[in-house]
Amino acid sequence: MRDRQLGTLQWAVVAIGLVSAVAAATWLLDSRAAANVRWYVAIKNAVYWGAWSVLIPWVVRIALLIRKRRWPWVATLSAHAIAAATCATLHLTVLAGVDLLARVWLLGAEPLRAWHAVADSLLMTPRLIIEWELTMYAALAAFGYANAFSVELQQRAGAEAELKASLAEARLSALQRQLQPHFLFNTLHGVSSLIRRDASAAEQMIERLGRLLRTAINTGATFETSLAEDLDALNDYLAIEAVQMRERLRVTFDIAANTLGAAVPSLLLQPLVENSVRHGLQPRARGGGIHVAAHRAGDRLHIEIVDDGVGLNPDATEGVGLLNTRSRLAQLYGSRQSFTVAARNTGGVRVDVTLPFRLREES
């Protein structure tokens, strides 16, 4: 904040300095007056604005010190009045001193007469002079207030953005921690049900479960992965389910090659397919099929998961997997994503996910 304020003050000083130079040059180039008169007026104008350029940092600093005190408005106005009177006195003193010297050296006036002339010039229009001096102080003080307020707004916006990012990351971490035990618990339940019936099948499930555990641990460090890696995790899960369901589970894929490197939320597909298996296919004796597809359309990635199971239960609410997926998508992509779960006219359920297309290497 301090660096930003100093930079703005420097530009203000430069601007007033340029006004001083232009005012002086205007009189020097006016050939209608004698040379000494032109120099006299040019010096007065240059000193008038030049003195204000020197006072700018001090006026702004004093105004900000008063602002920081958070005094009652009466005390604040009184402090500004004292500061304005002090600055006006300093400015007029410098201006009068230079005017006196310039009259003596450039116009050849006697010191006493020069002093009277300077005093007369100040006393002829005291109200105008005082109003102008106070106006200059008020303008510079307002400039300091506005600059400080602008910097504070930017800092506040930056802090709010950082806070929102931290909160979003915390929510995603919590959601990810919620998701991993969910599918691992379901898998362990399947293993326990097979141990007595088919030890060999249970051993295969345990091997696949080990791979799923490694995937879950690896995805704990990141919120996104590539679609290809997410498909690998899905295949590990499907291999576990296939041990139990055998020919009752049929899965087909239609994955466009240009989508394999796309960034997707970690463990996106597994809970969605698991939802189809648990609630769509397992309740039916003959099982059923699941179709997983992905394609790119411009800057969008479209993923669909379709099953021909028993369909949606109108009285049921979304479970952990669907709620978790919906929340993670909203946290990661906001309004740039869409997630729909709908019953199919021919039976079963269709899940559609649309995300911004971005290669994982670019994230």
Tokens of 25: 């040059």
Residue among 4, 57, 47 nearest 27 (CA)? 47
The percent helix, strand, coil of the chain (3-state, each to 5) is 70, 15, 15
Tokens of 9: 């003050």
CA dist 329 and 267 (Å) reads 12
Per-residue pLDDT of the chain (363 residues; tens, 9 = 90+): 444 444 454 555 555 556 555 655 565 555 565 667 677 777 777 777 777 777 878 888 888 888 888 889 899 889 989 998 888 888 888 888 888 888 888 777 787 887 877 777 777 666 667 777 888 888 888 888 888 888 888 877 876 776 566 555 545 554 554 545 556 666 677 677 777 777 777 777 787 777 777 766 665 557 788 999 999 989 988 888 887 788 899 999 999 999 999 999 888 998 899 889 988 998 888 989 999 999 999 999 999 999 999 988 877 777 777 888 898 898 889 899 999 999 998 889 999 999 999 998 654
300-307 and 288-297 beta bridge pairing: antiparallel
Angstrom CA distances, 132 to 91, 101, 138, 139, 304, stand at: 12, 23, 10, 10, 72
Burial 183-208 (b: 16+ CB within 10 A, else e): beebbeebbeebeeeeeebbebbeeb
338-343 and 349-356 beta bridge pairing: antiparallel
- Stated as kind and residue range, the H or E segment containing 255 is strand 249-255
Angstrom CA distances, 59 to 25, 83, 85, 336, stand at: 27, 8, 11, 49
Residues with Cβ < 8 Å from 209, sequence gap 6 or more?
Answer: 184, 187, 188, 191, 240
Backbone angles phi, psi at 301, to 5 degrees: -105, 125
Burial 289-322 (b: 16+ CB within 10 A, else e): bbbbebeeeeeebbbbbbbbbbeeeeeeeeebbb
Residue 251: per-residue pLDDT: 96
Q: How many CB atoms lie within 10 A of CB 211?
A: 16
Residue 7: per-residue pLDDT: 47
Backbone angles phi, psi at 195, to 5 degrees: -55, -45
CA atoms within 13 A on the CB side of 286: 5
Please state which CATH number belongs to domain 170-362: 3.30.565.10
Backbone angles phi, psi at 311, to 5 degrees: 90, -175
Domain ranges of the chain: 2-124, 170-362
Residue 192: per-residue pLDDT: 75
Tokens of 354: 């649309």
Residue 201: per-residue pLDDT: 75
